[in-house]
Amino acid sequence: MFFHRQELQHQAKPDRPDAVYARKLQEILGGQYGEITIAMQYGFQAWNAHIPGKYRDLLYGIGAEEFGHVEMLATMIAQLLEKSPVGITEDAVQNDPVVAAIVGGTDVQHAIVAGAGARPVDSNGNPWSGAYVTASGNLLADFTANATGEMQGRLQAARLFHMTDDAGVRSLLSFLIARDTMHQNQWLAAVAELRDEGVEELPVPSNFPQSKENQDVNYTYINFSDGEAAAEGSWASGPAPDGKGEFSYQAEPSPGVPMPPPTHPDSRFYGTTELPNLVEKAAGAVQDGLKKE
Amino acid sequence: MFFHRQELQHQAKPDRPDAVYARKLQEILGGQYGEITIAMQYGFQAWNAHIPGKYRDLLYGIGAEEFGHVEMLATMIAQLLEKSPVGITEDAVQNDPVVAAIVGGTDVQHAIVAGAGARPVDSNGNPWSGAYVTASGNLLADFTANATGEMQGRLQAARLFHMTDDAGVRSLLSFLIARDTMHQNQWLAAVAELRDEGVEELPVPSNFPQSKENQDVNYTYINFSDGEAAAEGSWASGPAPDGKGEFSYQAEPSPGVPMPPPTHPDSRFYGTTELPNLVEKAAGAVQDGLKKE
Amino acid sequence: MFFHRQELQHQAKPDRPDAVYARKLQEILGGQYGEITIAMQYGFQAWNAHIPGKYRDLLYGIGAEEFGHVEMLATMIAQLLEKSPVGITEDAVQNDPVVAAIVGGTDVQHAIVAGAGARPVDSNGNPWSGAYVTASGNLLADFTANATGEMQGRLQAARLFHMTDDAGVRSLLSFLIARDTMHQNQWLAAVAELRDEGVEELPVPSNFPQSKENQDVNYTYINFSDGEAAAEGSWASGPAPDGKGEFSYQAEPSPGVPMPPPTHPDSRFYGTTELPNLVEKAAGAVQDGLKKE
Amino acid sequence: MFFHRQELQHQAKPDRPDAVYARKLQEILGGQYGEITIAMQYGFQAWNAHIPGKYRDLLYGIGAEEFGHVEMLATMIAQLLEKSPVGITEDAVQNDPVVAAIVGGTDVQHAIVAGAGARPVDSNGNPWSGAYVTASGNLLADFTANATGEMQGRLQAARLFHMTDDAGVRSLLSFLIARDTMHQNQWLAAVAELRDEGVEELPVPSNFPQSKENQDVNYTYINFSDGEAAAEGSWASGPAPDGKGEFSYQAEPSPGVPMPPPTHPDSRFYGTTELPNLVEKAAGAVQDGLKKE
Amino acid sequence: MFFHRQELQHQAKPDRPDAVYARKLQEILGGQYGEITIAMQYGFQAWNAHIPGKYRDLLYGIGAEEFGHVEMLATMIAQLLEKSPVGITEDAVQNDPVVAAIVGGTDVQHAIVAGAGARPVDSNGNPWSGAYVTASGNLLADFTANATGEMQGRLQAARLFHMTDDAGVRSLLSFLIARDTMHQNQWLAAVAELRDEGVEELPVPSNFPQSKENQDVNYTYINFSDGEAAAEGSWASGPAPDGKGEFSYQAEPSPGVPMPPPTHPDSRFYGTTELPNLVEKAAGAVQDGLKKE
Amino acid sequence: MFFHRQELQHQAKPDRPDAVYARKLQEILGGQYGEITIAMQYGFQAWNAHIPGKYRDLLYGIGAEEFGHVEMLATMIAQLLEKSPVGITEDAVQNDPVVAAIVGGTDVQHAIVAGAGARPVDSNGNPWSGAYVTASGNLLADFTANATGEMQGRLQAARLFHMTDDAGVRSLLSFLIARDTMHQNQWLAAVAELRDEGVEELPVPSNFPQSKENQDVNYTYINFSDGEAAAEGSWASGPAPDGKGEFSYQAEPSPGVPMPPPTHPDSRFYGTTELPNLVEKAAGAVQDGLKKE
């Protein structure tokens, strides 16, 4: 169960409206790595979890916080849009180049669709998609995905920090960036703890028997381009991070196998087939293929 | 530049057709973490890279391999579909429960749209989307995303391994799973190397000055649910993985701040506003707001 | 701010697993009118609201409840999937026609992607989309949209009720259907109250001056098909529900106006234009159009 | 069957081109509540209708009108784009701030993809989606959805009215807004008529036996937030609009039930499970789980 | 303007319900090349046309027919769904393997969302998308796209013909296939006529001055794979179809040019850059980059 | 297998950055007819091909080239973005109208998401979609689709040519346009060759027996609009391009057939049905319909 309190975790109040910036801020609300993604992802991971205890409590514990971040950003965006002009292109533009830029730089659906309100979309107006969420049931894979989400999220928030000098907006971003610092660290700590406790190991999934994977290529870097510098990396020699293999480097792929012959589906799919087949088709299709109907 | 050779890196030939399995295999071809995602992601990361050398060579070096994996899976799927029935529901079903299941379990677009061919979609028929790709320009964030991709990918391939007993399919999966083992390890090694070399640090992005983030909450676990077990985790006390802070635990959120007052956009957006405003609207809107036109 | 408690508003526990039904239940979790839509819609309407007080409190008051419904359904789906077979088509099918049906009728991403977990998608596997949300800032329009959402939602839940005889599932549906009854009534009451209080009137938006709309056609039913029975409806004569006009019926459209002449964009868009223009193109394009570059 | 006449129901001719406004106007052509949605929605409701007579004639009667509205808007947009500049950013901008704004504010696909033509997309360039259509077969639910569509549509058209002073555009909008007035009223009248005639009742669906819904919570407002003003609304006490229940108010949710225990799917899904299970996994998985293959 | 008559161009009445087939038939209603695409495509091409006369009349003349095809298919699908079972998986399945297959093979949204009605989606339930439409303003390009649409459409209808033995369904398909025959021929005739009249030429767009395209590679087949049979094709030697060049064959690509050096965006984007840059970053970022704020 | 070489087929280096143009160029990278579509389409057609030899070699031969075009465009876009401003709206705008336009005209996700890098999206930021790909297995249909793709692609590139005067960008476009010239010609030559060799004929699919299509309407132009000029076209009389029929012209549609009666699905779908049915519902539903549960 979720409960709501009409308070915000941190002040979300801009010094002045800025409709262009409101559009940009949509990215960390409704984008691929926006707060809706993060909140939903922690929710689905918790609801699909197979073990009670600290890992699931962790997911619940910050999932609700993230829904509050959604709310802070939506509230901020609505205020940034508060004075957004309704106006007419030429009028506006002839008076003021700032307005000219605004005319072009805003999300026009903010005005037409939401009446100066926030929307569940990214900074280009793409609707948020459930396809952004990762929740596989494997905690090592999912917590790494969570670390990824917090990294991309903090990166975007840091870029957005430089795109405004509004102290109110920056104060909120400063808060969100700090939380992303915490959450990056937290997921990396949890990943390490899963491994330390032996709950999960690398490679994911750790209890798929490695004997069943192809033993010739599971620790070999194979180079398919003509740059050679990758040979210098720690991924080209020495022990692998999973502690189960030794990296090697192969400068180019081994010879491959010939492609299998082309397929010959039922003639009633009307795919294009070779001439011998064509002759047969011309002759036999009527009886052979089509009388089946 | 890319070059093509009419060979496959590994045999991709099923022992027998299986149209239901063909549908399932679409997941690791055209799904969120399928090979198209992986190939495109490495490509865009390479094209957007800001440094030459081993990291970019790494991206190029395996990017082309991944396009070859796309090809192996597409070829395999076409063969699995080779004998897929065109047939009529009742006929098929009354004779054979296997066919009955097939009727229900296939991707019908395999037959109707592709004429028994592979498609750039996932196992539910959702078209592959460019929104699956992550390429931010920050290598620490992106390589972590790559590790995530290889983890989810290997997990899905392992599940698919158990959904068939076709030796030809399993041989290909065994190969792909092995490559995922390599690539998981490789990205984790590269992540470590970026940090060891001081190219990037945690938290991402590492050169956003931490002085600008809110210092009160950047290493604090704040619990928004009523489970208490998360307090036991390594993310609740002790040094954080970035080496820059000390975790603390807060059993519930601090009191928040009141929400800012509701916004009052231009009346020509026709949002619902409070009564005093309504009076003014009734009286003045005609002159006040609308004569602006 | 949102808070979470590790409890459910109502029991969400099936008597037995049923992977096919789990897929169907996804509709009211992640479909167009599923609980994610409802929860997000009330959230965005609240965050974009322009007046404090009872209407906004109403949105907050049930918005958090709806996030709890998301949780109940996700939890239920995970349990329905608990024993979902990993298995191989032919094996399964030859033994048991129920399994045969399951093979075809499940959401295969439940297994491959989520490892037997719920996902933010509808019953055909389409990811939930932010485009489902309506939040315009006009409460009369939005509360009517909310009533619509609760009607479609209750309708779907009622259909789903008949698709199972699992007492545990039915108990949850019975609870959700009851809440939909409440919420349908509630929004219709709120719509009436907005009108009674004079906060909003019909037609939406009520303070757009009707003098600016075309007075010839604003209360006329115009028939564009050849069925005549619509003339019998209350929308064809008598007073309109907004109390501002009298319906009339027009048996067929008035003669229209001729279409405007085709457009002639810049020749550098390479649209196909008429012959006189072609001559000019042949002659003059090089100088006329292209030297502009 | 549909027939076409090369006439428009109303003049659709702008006084002058305005490529920025052309983009905005796309919203009511190809957006969530644009004319394509409305036309398709009435079409599908008619084709899926279960009764002949006035309600279906109503759907047919205005469905064709709405396809004509699609045409009027597309024609208008093409003309607004007629003189849209092909040009080069810097050139254009240095001469004229209006052009500067246009460069930013247009839909660039209007130029690149359509050669100065209209497109089936919204004002942010999102393609129109079949997911916008509602057609459930239940006329009370669907006509309420139709009223919603006409409300949101009129609201957007009214906003767009204020974003231009072009008399030709305003004349068309004035016509469309008037038709929306008619259609809002019409659907509300039809909703009332369905109820008056006893064809349908509230709550939707009316013949799902209310005895099967949970009787404890079907007329109770339950408050999940900390605002108390919703207790003052007509939805918190008194008779419900469906005439079948009496509203009551509950200041906070009743205690919930404990969450069900986490699920334990087949180990071959490789979800993370608890330690006892892990031990078993370590020991038995090879025999227990994997020999099943 | 569009007008509707409550008749169908051809009988659309199945001999018996078939919910599985109803799902398949959705492909040619709401798929990439379904009738909605075709109808909308001809509409947008007409509305964006730059010349009056026979070509535009052609678009209008069959556009309205295609909306009628949408209607015939929707009506057919609703009837195919008429007896679709509501039922419960196990019950249904244990009695009847046909029902078992149906349980798996239907579009479950047909039942849950549409109450046994047609929907604007394809055979996998993907909503129809405006992105399927092609309308560029260049008639040679667009009429070729139309021929493509009619080819893919007829191909899918032919495949669907073999997936049923219902005489009523086959009668409708036989009609639609015949119209596709006409429309394929018609667009190819119109393409030829555009060229014969000199309205448009190849290559599209014909009045982009070929002097501005790279003269070294505009008629050369360059082979990027290792198959050599393409050298035998008519595209490898002899005159090109546009009558303006002579094909030649190049067995492998010419040496390329080196890639440009990696980019160095503003440091406030936090991309990963090389070490010298890193040093500068460490030292100077605070002053250099960040004081800009 | 694919191999990569760190070279470009042609120089891809702009003379100067231009973030607005970078956005526009995304269209031919990640749009409906962009290079990703083309590369993937040739790939899937090859992988699904049913005959070895020249046609399949053709697909492989240029498929890899097209992946190289993806790379050239991505590289170009990254460079065009190199100096894209991070900046703050008002500051930027007050100094420089060019910057004002840039603020509005850029793809803001280029900055926020990709850190000044290319993305797999179109010029409006819509993610590339697998739904753009056509690969049916019928080569005549697919090669016509390929010709369509190259026509639309060249058209867009030609428009983009006029939207910049940057010599480096134009040099790349000049190269790509030349390749499109080749590829248009090539597919049209291949289409002719398929027909000359008798591998495929018109109409597609050529071996669906025409006796099974409705013989009354397969070569008749039927006019559904009121323009009469289409009667003058070569599609209205004379031999059809497939050599199998003679065109005729019908000035208006023949009378249609009455619509089938409305459907009556199971009452548990809660669709609205007519009154007699209602009475029965009132009376019998409880026993009749609902006791089924």
Q: pLDDT tens string for chain A (293 positions)?
A: 999 999 999 999 999 999 999 999 999 999 999 999 999 999 999 999 999 999 999 999 999 999 999 999 999 999 999 987 776 766 666 666 666 667 778 999 999 999 999 999 999 999 999 999 999 999 999 999 999 999 999 999 999 999 999 999 999 999 999 999 999 999 999 999 999 999 999 999 998 999 999 999 999 999 999 999 999 999 999 999 999 999 999 999 999 999 999 999 999 999 998 654 455 555 544 444 444 44
Q: How confident is the model at residue B209 (pLDDT cuts 50, 70, 90)?
A: very high
Burial class of F22 by CB neighbour count within 10 A (0 to 12, 13 to 18, 19+): buried
CA nearest A103 in F: which residue?
A: F104
Chains touching C (3+ CB pairs < 8 Å): A, B, D, E, F
Mutate to test the interface with F, among B48, B56, B140 (most CBs of F within 10 A): B48
Mutate to test the interface with B, among F3, F38, F51, F204 (most CBs of B within 10 A): F3
CB-CB neighbors (< 8 A) of C138 in chain A: 115
CB-CB neighbors (< 8 A) of A267 in chain E: none
Mutate to test the interface with F, among E214, E223, E252, E273 (most CBs of F within 10 A): E214
CB-CB neighbors (< 8 A) of A272 in chain E: none
CB-CB neighbors (< 8 A) of F271 in chain E: 115-117
Interface touch E265/F116, C-beta < 8 Å = yes
Strand-pair category, A257-258 with B7-8:
antiparallel
**Closest Cβ opposite residue D227 in set A6, A50, A104:** A6
Interface touch A100/F105, C-beta < 8 Å = no
Kindly list the distances between the CA atom of residue C35 and the CA atoms of B90, C152, D262, E165, in Å, as whole numbers in the listed order: 37, 11, 22, 41
- The amino acid that residue F232 corresponds to is E
**Closest Cβ opposite residue E126 in set B50, B112, B125:** B125
Q: How far is A117 from chain D (nearest CA, A)?
A: 14
Side-chain half-sphere of F3: how many Cα atoms within 13 Å? 18
CA nearest E54 in C: which residue?
A: C274
Q: What is the mean pLDDT of residues F267-275?
A: 85
Q: What integer pLDDT is reported at residue B86 of this predicted model?
A: 75
- Rounded to whole angstroms, the Cα distance separating C77 from C13 reads 9
Q: How far is F174 from chain B (nearest CA, A)?
A: 18
Mean pLDDT by 10 residues, chain D (293 residues): 97 95 97 98 98 96 97 98 75 64 84 97 98 98 98 98 96 98 98 96 95 96 96 96 97 95 92 65 47 47
- Per the CB < 8 A criterion, the answer to whether A175 and A29 are in contact is no
Mutate to test the interface with C, among D54, D123, D250 (most CBs of C within 10 A): D54
Interface touch F43/B128, C-beta < 8 Å = no
Chains touching F (3+ CB pairs < 8 Å): A, B, C, D, E
Report chain C residues touching chain F, CB-CB < 8 A.
155, 158-159, 162, 165, 268-270, 292-293
Interface touch B90/E98, C-beta < 8 Å = yes
- Rounded to whole angstroms, the Cα distance separating D75 from C258 reads 12
Of F279, A74, A152, F47, give the one whose Cα is nearest residue C46. A74
CB-CB neighbors (< 8 A) of D21 in chain A: 89
String of DSSP letters for chain B: -EEE-SEESS----SS--HHHHHHHHHHHHSTTSHHHHHHHHHHHHHT-S--SHHHHHHHHHHHHHHHHHHHHHHHHHHHTTT-----HHHHHHH-HHHHHHHHHS-HHHHHTTSS---SB-TT-PBPBGGG----S-HHHHHHHHHHHHHHHHHHHHHHHHT---HHHHHHHHHHHHHHHHHHHHHHHHHHHHHHTTSS-SSSSTTS-GGGS-TTSTTEEE--SS--GGGGSTTSSEE-TTSS-EEEEESSPPP-EEPPPPP---GGG-----HHHHHHHHHHIIIIIGGG-
**Closest Cβ opposite residue D130 in set E67, E127, E135:** E127
CA nearest F95 in A: which residue?
A: A97
Q: What integer pLDDT is reported at residue D293 of this predicted model?
A: 46
Mutate to test the interface with A, among D28, D272, D279, D286 (most CBs of A within 10 A): D272
Structure confidence by residue, pLDDT tens digits, B81-114: 998 777 676 666 666 666 666 777 899 999 999 9
CB-CB neighbors (< 8 A) of E272 in chain B: 49-51, 55, 137-140, 194, 199-200
Chains touching E (3+ CB pairs < 8 Å): A, B, C, D, F
- N-term to C-term CA, chain A: 56
Res B181 pLDDT > 50:
yes
Chains B & F: contacts with CB separation below 8 Å: 145
Predicted ipTM > 0.90:
yes
Is the pTM value of this prediction over 0.90?
yes
Structure confidence by residue, pLDDT tens digits, C195-224: 999 999 999 999 899 999 999 999 999 999
How many CB atoms within 10 Å of residue B68?
A: 23
Structure confidence by residue, pLDDT tens digits, B244-261: 999 999 999 999 999 999
CB-CB neighbors (< 8 A) of F205 in chain E: 154-155, 158
Higher pLDDT, B92 or F58: F58
**Closest Cβ opposite residue B126 in set C115, C126, C207:** C126
Interface touch D232/C54, C-beta < 8 Å = yes
Interface touch A131/C127, C-beta < 8 Å = yes
- Rounded to whole angstroms, the Cα distance separating E101 from E106 reads 8
Interface touch C265/E209, C-beta < 8 Å = no
CA nearest D146 in C: which residue?
A: C148
Q: Could you check whether the bond before residue F203 is cis, i.e. omega within 30 degrees of 0?
A: yes
CB-CB neighbors (< 8 A) of A274 in chain F: 50-53
Interface touch D270/B165, C-beta < 8 Å = no
- Rounded to whole angstroms, the Cα distance separating D253 from C68 reads 11
How many CB atoms within 10 Å of residue D177?
A: 25
**Closest Cβ opposite residue C158 in set F155, F270, F292:** F270
For chain E, what is the radius of gyration of the CA atoms? 27
CA nearest A226 in E: which residue?
A: E258
Q: What is the mean pLDDT of residues E126-130?
A: 98
DSSP bridge pairs for B235? none
Q: What integer pLDDT is reported at residue F218 of this predicted model?
A: 96
Of F174, D183, B262, F269, give the one whose Cα is nearest residue C242. D183
- The amino acid that residue B284 corresponds to is G
CB-CB neighbors (< 8 A) of A89 in chain D: 18, 20-21, 98, 101-102, 105
**Closest Cβ opposite residue D158 in set B162, B165, B270:** B270
- Provide the token pair at B153: 């990918």
Interface touch B27/C112, C-beta < 8 Å = yes
Kindly list the distances between the CA atom of residue E56 and the CA atoms of B167, D119, E47, F230, in Å, as whole numbers in the listed order: 58, 17, 9, 8
Phi-psi region of B53 (alpha: psi -120 to 50; beta: other; left: phi over 0): left
Of D201, D233, D240, D200, give the one whose Cα is nearest residue D218. D240
**Closest Cβ opposite residue E105 in set B4, B50, B104:** B104
DSSP H helices, C106-258, are 108-112, 139-161, 167-196
Quick one: which H or E segment has residue D239?
strand D238-239
Q: How far is E290 from chain B (nearest CA, A)?
A: 9
* Locus of tokens 């060979």: B7
Interface touch D86/C268, C-beta < 8 Å = yes
Res F101 pLDDT > 70:
no
Q: At what angle do helices D35-47 and E54-80 cross, to 10 degrees?
A: 40
CA nearest C91 in D: which residue?
A: D293
Chains touching B (3+ CB pairs < 8 Å): A, C, D, E, F
Q: What integer pLDDT is reported at residue D264 of this predicted model?
A: 92
Strand-pair category, F220-222 with B220-222:
unpaired
Interface touch F269/C293, C-beta < 8 Å = no
CA nearest E91 in C: which residue?
A: C98
* Locus of tokens 């399993």: B170
Q: How confident is the model at residue C93 (pLDDT cuts 50, 70, 90)?
A: low
CB-CB neighbors (< 8 A) of F30 in chain B: 130
Of B70, B51, B217, B247, give the one whose Cα is nearest residue B142. B51
Structure confidence by residue, pLDDT tens digits, C170-186: 999 999 999 999 999 99
Of F38, F73, F77, give the one whose Cα is nearest residue F175. F73
**% of chain F exceeding 70 in pLDDT:** 88
Interface touch C179/D85, C-beta < 8 Å = no
